[in-house]
């Protein structure tokens, strides 16, 4: 696998087949719209931040606060519905396995107590 897959894998000890397949699919889709240098930048950002963001959930101010290259990458991801959905899916899978620190944009809804 590539740099992005490795960076995603480094965020979590979860090695479930569905999660790993999600990483592979996300990386494969990103390779269709991002340059190899952008993939490396995204991977470095993931390692440094320790988080996978859902770009759809970020407001314009949050996107503007990203490093310039990441803001461009986020815009490219947002422009492609399939890739944007895969971004959300990877975050949801990580969150499902309890990786809440790495998934700050995934909103939890709690059921009312009885």
Output the pLDDT for position 114: 44
Please state the domain extents for the chain: 3-102
d(CA 101, CA 50): 8
CA distances from 15 to 8, 32, 40, 108 (A): 11, 25, 22, 23
Output the pLDDT for position 111: 39
Instruction: Inform me whether the pLDDT recorded for 99 exceeds 70.
Output: yes
Place of tokens 């990103």: 30
pLDDT digits (tens, 9 = 90+) for 47-72: 999 999 999 999 999 999 999 999 99
Describe the crossing of helices 36-49 and 68-78 by its angle, rounded to 10 degrees. Answer: 110
């Amino acid at each position: 696998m590539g740099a992005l897959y490795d960076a995603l894998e480094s965020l979590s000890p979860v090695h479930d087949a569905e999660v790993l397949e999600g990483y592979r699919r996300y990386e494969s889709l990103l390779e269709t719209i991002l340059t190899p240098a952008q993939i490396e930048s995204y991977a470095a950002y993931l390692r440094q931040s320790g988080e996978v963001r859902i770009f759809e959930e970020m407001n314009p101010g949050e996107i503007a606060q990203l490093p310039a290259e990441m803001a461009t990458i986020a815009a490219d991801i947002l422009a492609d519905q399939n890739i944007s959905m895969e971004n959300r899916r990877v975050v949801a899978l990580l969150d499902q396995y309890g990786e809440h620190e790495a998934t700050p944009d995934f909103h939890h809804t709690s059921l009312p107590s009885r």
